[in-house]
């Protein structure tokens, strides 16, 4: 699932979508394991730039912080590695 999330974030970035509040609480996964993003109220379309890495860094901090304080969240560094594999391969996603 982490690779799917990574690929989905990459798809957003490929389309220039800056999600100003990209954190673990704004990523939803449905029963068919499709990834959905919510809370786009302060988002915008941007040209390629350093904002993509900053967006990933914010998400990584959010995941680590939430996992540290929530009993029902199971997040480990290996999950981030899987996410990054999905993000790297997500460049192949069309649409």
| pLDDT of res. 49 | 95
* Per-residue pLDDT band at 95 (split at 50, 70, 90): very low
Instruction: Name the residue with higher pLDDT: 64 or 59.
Output: 59
Catalytic residue among 21, 32, 39, 82: 21
According to DSSP, the residues that pair with 83 across neighbouring strands are none
CATH fold for domain 2-92? Transferase(Phosphotransferase); domain 1 (1.10.510)
Query: Is-contact 43 9, C-beta < 8 A?
Result: no
**Boundaries of every domain in the chain:** 2-92
What three-state secondary structure class fits 45?
A: strand
Residues 13-42: pLDDT tens digits? 999 999 999 988 899 999 998 999 999 988
Among positive and negative, which fits the CA dihedral 58, 76, 65, 37?
Answer: positive
> Is 21 labeled as catalytic in the residue annotation?
yes
């Amino acid at each position: 699932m982490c690779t799917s999330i990574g690929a989905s974030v990459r798809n957003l970035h490929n389309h220039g979508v800056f999600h100003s509040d990209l954190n673990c609480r704004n990523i939803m996964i449905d029963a068919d394991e499709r990834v959905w993003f919510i809370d786009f109220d302060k988002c915008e379309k941007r040209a390629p730039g350093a904002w993509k890495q900053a967006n990933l860094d914010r998400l990584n901090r959010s995941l680590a912080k939430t996992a540290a304080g929530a009993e029902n969240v199971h997040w480990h560094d290996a999950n981030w590695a899987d996410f990054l594999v999905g993000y790297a391969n997500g460049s192949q996603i069309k649409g």
